[in-house]
Structures are given as structure tokens and as C-alpha cells.
Chains A and B, each alone.
Chain A
Amino acid sequence: MKSKTLVILKHEFKKIAATKTFVVTTILGPFLLAAMMFLPALTSVDSTDRSGESINMGMYVSNPDNAYVKANTDALQAVFAQMGWIIHKEENRDIVHQKAMNGELEGYVSIESDKVSYYSENTGDIYVTSVIENVVSEIQIAQRLTERGLDVQEVKSLMTPYKLPIFKIAAESGEATESDGMTDYLVALLVPMCFAMMIYMSVLLYGQMIGRSVVTEKTSKIVDVLLSSVKPSQLMIGKIFGVGLAGLLQYGIWILFAAVGLQIAVIGFDFVIPVQLSIINFVYLGIFFILGYLLFASCYAAMGSASEDEQHMAQLSTPFILFLIAPIILMTGMIQNPNSLMSTVFSLFPLTSPMSMLAIATTGQAPLWKILLSIGLLIAAIILVIHLASKIFKTGILMTGKNFKFKEILRWL
């Protein structure tokens, strides 16, 4: 009789893993995730960057023999030329003003004996104005320093700001390693966030897949044929593990992608792997995915069996989704304060622990005993829930014609 569970497992696995959707999401998943991670960073930095553009820049020089005018003119010309801008130098303000007005020029710098100013239709372009401002202010500062008899280069080197070295103490060994504060903070948040999102999406996706497949079999009446061949518990277990295996395959491929990607980054770009992406964290990811999946999949199987249709199932499973969303919302707080009461409760309570404990563990902030306790509680919960779910499944799968309330379903236990 055992082998029938295997037949169902194989069938459910093939039903998912042999679809185009599965292949596409498995291959595109990592790229989408990478895009999600890097796209916001890229777009926010680069939107104003116009380097490499050859901007038509006008220049009105009012009094070329004046020392101040000359110094600024030379410096600006040098910088513009270096940046590949095209300089249109005029001694008649009206001409250059006209050109800036009809769009021939981006704008023009007016250099007079007492001030340097910029005229343009597009005054909001921070990139252009900041280039000009930097050049002029450096000249201004240099001039003031020279007037007081100070050496410009010397002052510059004296003014170099202090960089505070930041050391991180590892949770287990107590070893201190130097880290780059801001990047470290971002990576510290980003990696567990991504991991948690992966768990959230896959548990929801695969859990709902199971629920849907149960509802479909129930509404299409295949279930009568199936149950004349196998026991309800075999059907449920076969489904949960079959779909789970497909999920695990997807995770395996993703982790492989990540490992290869990181290796390429290390060899090709001298990339230093942050601690958050160490092997042990991928192991945690795998463990918490499997456990979280098993827990939610059994819930979904039970809810699916008790549902009349997919909408009804969605209604019944709403409470479970809340347990998946809550850790994501509270994740930043949990990572910053891993020992707070909330963090402890969330990382030990089975419905929220897969994501919460994973986040705290990947940032290296959880002692091993806490991680093991969390895993132990999860396994205990899974055993209990599978037991209860198969009871609900057994009753629910044959019940039709009524939208059962959550309370009524609990009575089947």
C-alpha cells in the first residue's frame, strides 16, 4: 500500500515540474529576484547622471583680462573639455542668451569680474549645475586660501575626514571582523528579506497549488475514483510530498544559480561574499523552506478538502496568510532587535517561525540552541497539523454542497 503514496507523489511532482510555468519561473526566478534587489538602487542613483553626454555649453566672458574671470574661465574650460562638453564661447551676451533660448545650447555660464552665474531653460538639472558649482567653489576656496598665505594642497590633505572602522562580533565565536557599516546594514537587511520573500512566495504558491489540486479533484469528482484506490491519508501525503519535491527541485536550482553567480563574482570582480550569503545560511534557507512548506501545505490540503470551490478555499485560508505576512512586515524590527519579546515569540511560534527565525539566523544573531528549538517546535507542529489535517481531509473530501465555516470544520477533528 505504501507504493501507492509514491505513485501519487510521482504524479503530483510531474504535474507541476513538467509544466512550462515551472520551467520559466525556475529559470527566471533568480533574475527577477536580482532585478528586484538592484533595480531600485540603479534607478535612484542614475536618473540624474548625464556623464558621457556631450552637452552644448555656452560661455559668456565679460572681461577676459580680469584675473578672477581668467582663473574661472580656464578652470571651467578645462573641466568641460575633460567631460567632453562642447564649449561655445562668446563675448556678446545677447548671442549666447539667444542660443540658450532656442535650445541650441543647454545653457550658458556667465563669467563676470565679481561673480559666476549660470543661465538655462532647464535649471532643475542638478548634474550640470553641480559640475559648475564644484569648479567655481574650488577656485573660490583656493583663492581665499592663497590670499591668507596658505598652501592649497596642504589644506586639502589636512581636511580629509575620519573614517570610523566598524567591527562586527560574531554570535557564536565572539570573533570580531571589520565591516563596512552602511553596506553591511543594507546587506544585513537585504539577504534575510530576500530569503523571507522567497519562503513567503513559494510556501504560498505551493500551498495554494495543493489546495487547488484538492478542490479540483473534489469538484471534478475524480476523488471518488481515487478514493476507491487509495486511502485519503495516502492521497494527502502523496500530494504534499509530491508538490514539495517540485518545490525543493526549484530551490535546488536557485541555490545552484546563486552559488555559481557568487563564484563568478568572486573570481571575476573580486567580490567579497558577505557573511549573510555563507553556505550555512543557504542550509537554513533549505531547512526553513521545507518545514514551513510542510506546515502550510498540510493546512492548505485540509482547507482545500473542506472547500466547495477556490473562492471558498481562499476565504478559509486567509488566517494562514496573515501568519505569513506578519513576519515580513515586522522583519526590519526583528533583525535590528533580535532579542526583543516580539522577535523571540515570532521566531519560535511555528506559523511565523520559518521566516522570522530564518531572518534572525541569517544575520548571525541567533544562538544555535534557539535555532534548534525553533526547528524542533516546527517539526512537532507539523506532525500535529498533518494528523489533524488528515482527519479534516478524510471528512471534508466527501462533503459537498455546503460552504463550511471554520468553526464547523474544527468540529470534524
Chain B
Amino acid sequence: MLSLKGVTKKYGDFCAVDKLDFDAPAGQIVGLIGPNGAGKSTTIRMIMNILECDEGEILLDGKKFTADDSNIIGYLPEERGLYKKQKVVDVLVYLAELKGCTKQEALPKIDYWLKRFDLMEWKDKKIDSLSKGMAQKIQFVSTIIHDPQILFLDEPFSGLDPVSADELLSIMNELKQSGRILLFSTHVMEQAEKICDQIIMLNHGKKILDGSMQKIRAQYGKNTITIDYSGDASSISDLPVVESVQHSGNTCSVVLKNGSSVDELFTSLTPLISQGKLSLRSIKVDEPSLHSIFVKLAGHDFEEKRGGLR
């Protein structure tokens, strides 16, 4: 388990990461999300030992995680870059050697991963002859050749075709099942929702969300209900549990008052049904998407900033 305890990084007066705590357990994919400038890159760089933290500590299985542990981490940065003028295999061997592998150890693994991504025929080609997606896959391969314990993938799916994306996803799941610690960062909320076991959201260097998708949904969801009906629904807005109603055709979207449950709404609807005023076709509790939660939490600032600019 990788644990951050009170990790803080300041650039002059500006606090990029403020007393950040979180745990990334082995065998799980942990998503690190947040708007631009939230402190994700700084956090990653501190975990990768590129930056030192000003306060707090980073622990791996209870022991302090230092620069000497760099061989057990693999890092796919958001902005990709490889040596353009060099051969694929040479670049991969070099990056593996920098992680403490010997050339002999690295070569068979390079073959294995290139085969998996169907890139064997490009092994002796120069990097600048590859397409963007291919270079992306090569870079991913470079992060796992040395079999790292901790893997950080920043936007790993951007630029990949669906087949490669599926292959990448299945590799991520294999790594997860073999007990690796996987950290994952993206701006595509649907991906984070689908892939991550745990989501951590940062804003202004602070953690504003932490937990499994289920837990987050439980926290932010269940107050919007969509009802599909026939008959007269005008009296729904008069119900004591209802905050507001939006009608559109034979569908209405009901927002419950704080503290009211779906069960209470259902009970208060029953008399209307038994009186024959209303007939329900379907009733559905809206699951809030991570996207909407993200916008709700981070978007607030944007509104403020926009206001300020005016």
C-alpha cells in the first residue's frame, strides 16, 4: 500500500499541494482526478521522487519511500516523449537499464510486450517513423518492462484506437490482479468511472473527494428521480418531500428535499395513484455521473472566476 500523509508542496507563497492524505492499496486502480492546476502533476512528481515534499511523508507498506526505490515505479507522463532519432528497441533497453534492468533481462520482455501490442515489426524502426498511437504504446511498454510495483498512468488512453485501448485495459486489469498499485489520471470522467476502484479528486491542492464510486454516488446521488407517467402530475410539486419538479411531456424530473428518501416519495405518490389521477410507467433514481459530480465540485470555482473577470 502506498500512503501519502500530510504531503505539502509550496512554490514560494503558492501552495500547490496542501496536506494531502490518501492510501492507494495494492490490487486496486486508484483514479486521481481534478481540474487543471489542481496539484495532480505536483503530487505525481512527488510520488515519483522528481520533487521533494516540503512537509509530510510518502510511505510504501509503512516504510519511507525514497529515491532509491525508483526501480519499482513505472511512470507514463501525460505529455509523451521518446528519443525520436533512435530505434524502438534501443530506447526501450535504455529506459529499462535506467530502472536497473540489464539488457539481457530487458530484451525478452520487450519482445513479449511488443508482440502483445502487435508492434514486433517496428522493433528496429526509428521512433519518428511511428504514428502517434504507436509511439504511445511504445511508451506504455517502457513503463512496465521492469515489472514495477507501482504504476502511474497519466491519460493512458488518449490517442489509442479501440482495439489498443481494450488491450491496455486488459493489461491494467492483469496488473491489478497481480497485486500492483495502479494510479491513474484522466480528464475523461466516463473512463475513470468505469476503470477505477477508488477515486481521489483534488482541487486547489486539497483533496475534496475520496472513496469508491459506490460510496461517492451514495454521497452525491439519490435526490433526483425521473418519473414516466400518464395522467395529471401537477400535484407532485405540492408533495411535502419534493423540492422542485421539472416537467417535459409525460416525464418529470423530481428533486427531493434534503433528508427525504425515495421511499418517502413513493409512499406519498401512492394516494395519487389509488385515486386514479396518475398512472406510473416507470420510476428511476438518477445515478449522478462522476462528470456531474466533478462539475458540481470544481465548476463552482469556474463560475466564480468568470464572474470575477466580468
- Please list the residues of chain A having a beta carbon within 8 angstroms of any beta carbon in chain B: 1, 4, 7-8, 11, 15, 217, 220-231, 398
Contact = CB atoms under 8 A, between A and B. Distances in A.
B272 to A, nearest CB: 61
Interface stretch (B79-87, B179-187, B220-228, B263-271): B79-87
B97 to A, nearest CB: 4
Interface string B242-274: 000000000000000000000000000000000
A228 B82 contact: no
A222 B81 contact: yes
Interface in B48-83: 48-51, 67-68, 70-71, 73, 75, 77, 79-83
Given A220-B81, A221-B80, A221-B81, A228 B48 contact: yes
A1 B48 contact: no
A229 B86 contact: no
- The majority secondary structure among interface residues of chain A is helix
A49 B184 CA distance: 79
Given A15-B86, A228-B73, A398-B51, A7 B81 contact: no
Given A1-B68, A7-B94, A7-B98, A228 B81 contact: no
A225 B86 contact: no
A221 B79 contact: yes
Q: Which of A8, A220, A229 has the most CB of B within 10 A?
A: A229
Closest 10 CB pairs of A and B: A220-B81, A221-B81, A229-B98, A221-B79, A228-B48, A228-B75, A222-B81, A224-B77, A227-B50, A7-B97
B9 to A, nearest CB: 12
B155 to A, nearest CB: 12
A61 to B, nearest CB: 76
Contacts of B142: 225
7 contacts: A1-B68, A220-B81, A220-B82, A221-B77, A225-B143, A228-B75, A229-B95
A4 B45 CA distance: 20
Contacts of A228: 48-50, 70, 73, 75
B82 A11 contact: no
B99 interface: yes
Interface string B84-102: 1010000000110111100
Given A1-B68, A228-B50, A228-B70, A222 B98 contact: no
A224 B83 contact: no
Contacts of B50: 224, 227-228, 398
Given A224-B48, A224-B77, 6 more contacts: A4-B100, A11-B97, A221-B81, A225-B77, A226-B98, A227-B50
Contacts of B95: 225, 229
Contacts of B97: 7, 11
A398 B45 contact: yes
B83 A222 contact: yes
A238 B95 CA distance: 14
Q: Which of B68, B94, B142 has the most CB of A within 10 A?
A: B94
Contacts of A230: 70, 98
Contacts of B77: 221, 224-225
Contacts of A11: 94, 97
Contacts of B143: 225
Contacts of B81: 217, 220-223, 225
A40 B79 CA distance: 53
Contact of B82 (A4, A222, A229, A398): A222
Contacts of A226: 98
A69 to B, nearest CB: 79
Contacts of A1: 68
A93 B130 CA distance: 82
A43 to B, nearest CB: 39
B80 A4 contact: no
A224 B68 contact: no
Contacts of B98: 4, 7-8, 226, 229-230
Contact of A229 (B70, B80, B84): B70
B36 to A, nearest CB: 13
Contacts of A222: 81-83
B82 A224 contact: no
Nearest to A6: B97
Nearest to B154: A224
B75 A231 contact: no
Contacts of A7: 94, 97-98
A11 B95 CA distance: 10
A17 B40 CA distance: 39
Nearest to B95: A225
Nearest to A8: B98
